[in-house]
Chain A
Amino acid sequence: MNEARHPLRLPGTAVLAALAMLFLYVPIIVLVVLSFNASDMTTIWTGFSLHWYAQALGNDTMLVAIGNSLTVAAAATVLATAAATSAALGIARSGGRVRTAVEGLLGLPLLIPEIVTAVALLMLFVLVGVRLGLMSVILAHTVFCIPFAYYPIRSRLAALDPALGEAASDLYAPAWRRFLRIELPLLAPGIFAGALLAFISSLGDFVITYFVAGPGATTLPVYIYGMIRTGITPEVNALSTLLLLASVAVVAIVFRSGTTPANQTRGEKTS
């Protein structure tokens, strides 16, 4: 197709698109560049250095925060991915009304503003008597990780012939062997993408964690928030760059697996 003649190519769109991309990436570039700045003045460039990375990674409190973040993300990812895989298989095999209800429920955490989820969960935990700590954070993260894990698995499942599972049953496979030999291997790319997206969402969450994490359950974003509030040091730049790198890696892997997160979530993610 002749690009210049593409019907959607209107004068001005290229310029505005370039502006939008610039707007999206300049802050990221500034952040990354400054994280390698030798100066302790966060915004004046004096030379290349990995000093702040060393300092950040040598900070014990921060290492504890990273440890908490990884623990929470791992636990929430496992719980959410298992629940989402099971739900995807169940929904695919059940009829209209159950399907609509459960799918609506699964999409809810992406729809409800994060601050609302945060305070609602806080009240639940406090009133029921769940101690605020890593456990409450893991439970809260599982809530919003479920839809992130669910959508890629669902779209993978939708692309598979439903007769495959039936064929396995027909050939004498009991339910668990059908799952292990047929459904799990065939869904693996979707499950993998879903788990990665759940993991990165958990790792990056700030607002909900901020509300439901008690003392001793500080995650990396909560820790970074504290640092920003107390005074900006280049250490924050280094940490932020590391978090950024993690997201880019995850999105790149998911993209390469051919299941684009944008199409799966249909932009339903809220911040």
Chain B
Amino acid sequence: MSTVRTSPGLLAAPAALFLIVFMLVPVGLMLYVSTLERGAFGGVNWGQHTAIAYEKLLFERDLAGQIAFNSDYIAIILRSFRLAAVTTAVTLALGIPTALYMASLPPRRAALMLFLVTVPFWTNLLVRNFAWILILRNGGPLDSALATTGLVTPPLDILYTPLATGIGLTYSFLPFMILPIYVALERIDRRLIEAAFDLGADRWRVLSRVVLPLAAPGIAAGAILVFVPCLGAYVSPELLGGGKSLMIGNLIQAQFGASRNWPFGAALALVLLLVLLVALALLASVKRRERLAS
């Protein structure tokens, strides 16, 4: 379809080159750094390859060089997975009904609600997590509100716990769940739903046998869009979790800050990338199944 002599693909070259240099190359570099020896004063020793960064995930070496199992890091990684899984589950439980409700609205009201869901999506992550500090802190609105019910005695001491991190993550990523599910529901041919009713299915059957299977790619996309960034979250655990509920993101940050252990930081980051790849493969298989079914 070209209309000029030069290849039209050249127009895409600046963006493509930029992302190769500043996205692919850095990730490749990270992979390489994870196999290197750490430098004595930060940085790395080039050409000195070792698997020590990966070993460190599970074992520690004492001064005498003895290897012993160390559960500290694996505990953080497991906590991250747990928090990410719980957040995904909660956002699913809230996101599916919300998306269903949105899809059932007349167009103008659906657009308004879409706008309302989208605003937090584009609002500064730091600001949104900060708002929860205000709410959850001792003596804050939640404390006062619950105190008036008389059911609990303040202070609740929620802030700086894994629960607070979970709340912050759920809050941060709920729009990521609602939007793709809504888009998927919106694309379902209304006649299929009517046909199911026509064939005598009740609402719950229509939901479980027709609507949700058809929306499966959207639900899977939503779950991945919540789970993957949750796993690598930095802001919520840092601000709301305090020191007691560190996640992988905080651990990575520490390797580039105080600990000055780039290879270990790079290895941890690769764990996140690996999870992303697995998630994408799962999504692709859900989509493929969907295509085969239709």
> Do chains A and B directly touch (beta carbons under 8 Å) in the complex?
yes
- Cβ of A50 < 8 Å from any Cβ of B? no
| Residues of B121-150 contacting chain A, CB below 8 A | 121-128, 130-135, 137, 139-141
Instruction: Give the shortest distance, in Å, between A117 (CB) and chain B (any CB).
Output: 7
A21:B272 contact, CB within 8 angstroms: no
Interface assignment of A3: CB less than 8 Å from any CB of chain B: yes
Expressed in whole angstroms, the minimum distance between the Cβ of B129 and any Cβ of chain A is: 9
Interface flag for A90 (CB, 8 Å): yes
Contact B19 A16 (CB under 8 A): no
A137: CB under 8 A from chain B? no
Shortest C-beta distance, B164 to chain A (Å), equals 12
> Of A98, A120, A140, A165, which one neighbours B269 at CB under 8 angstroms?
A120
Q: A17 at the A/B interface (Cβ < 8 Å)? A: yes
Chain B nearest CB from A90 CB (Å) reads 3
Closest beta carbon of chain B to A232's beta carbon, Å: 7
CB of A224, distance to nearest CB on chain B (Å): 6
**Beta-carbon contact of A1 and B106 below 8 Å:** yes
List which A226-271 residues lie within 8 A (CB) of chain B.
228, 232, 236-237, 240, 243-244, 247-248, 250-252, 255, 260-263, 266-271
Q: In the bound complex, how far is the Cα of B111 from the Cα of A55, in angstroms?
A: 38
A121 CB, nearest partner CB in chain B, Å: 5
Whether B77 is near chain A, meaning CB under 8 Å from some CB there, is no
Give Cα distance in the complex from A236 to B239, angstroms: 14
Considering only residues 1-27 of chain A, those with a C-beta below 8 Å from chain B are: 1, 3, 6-10, 12-14, 16-17, 19-21, 23-27
The answer, among B12, B15, B101, for a CB contact under 8 Å with A98, is: B12
Contact A23 B94 (CB under 8 A): yes
- With an 8 Å Cβ cutoff, the count of chain A residues facing the other chain is 104
B51 at the interface (CB under 8 A from A): no
Query: CA separation between A224 and B121, bound complex, in Å?
Result: 19
Instruction: State whether the Cβ of A158 lies closer than 8 Å to any Cβ in chain B.
Output: no
Asked if B259 is at the interface of the complex by the 8 Å CB criterion, the answer is: no
Q: Please, which residue of chain B has its CB at the minimum distance from the CB of A21?
A: B116
Bound: A146/B225 CA distance, A: 19
Contacts known (A111-B276, A119-B30); A224 close to B127, Cβ less than 8 A: yes
Contact partners of B253 in chain A: CB under 8 A:
115, 119, 211
Cα distance, A51 to B193, chains bound together (Å): 56
Q: Which chain B residues border A200 with CB–CB below 8 Å?
A: 122
Q: A116 within 8 Å of B by Cβ?
A: yes
Rounded to whole Å, the gap between the CB of B109 and the closest CB of chain A is 9
Is there an interface contact between A139 and B22, defined as CB atoms closer than 8 Å? yes
Residue of B nearest to A146 (CB): B15
What 10 pairs across the A-B complex have the smallest Cβ distances?
A: A90-B11, A113-B232, A120-B26, A90-B12, A27-B131, A93-B8, A17-B101, A16-B97, A87-B15, A83-B15
Residues of chain B having any CB pair with chain A under 8 Å: 1-4, 7-16, 18-20, 22-27, 29-30, 33, 43, 94-95, 97-98, 100-106, 111, 113-128, 130-135, 137, 139-141, 170-176, 178-180, 182-183, 185, 190, 193-194, 197, 203-204, 206-207, 211, 221-222, 225, 228-229, 231-235, 239, 248-249, 252-253, 256, 262, 265-266, 269, 272-273, 276, 280
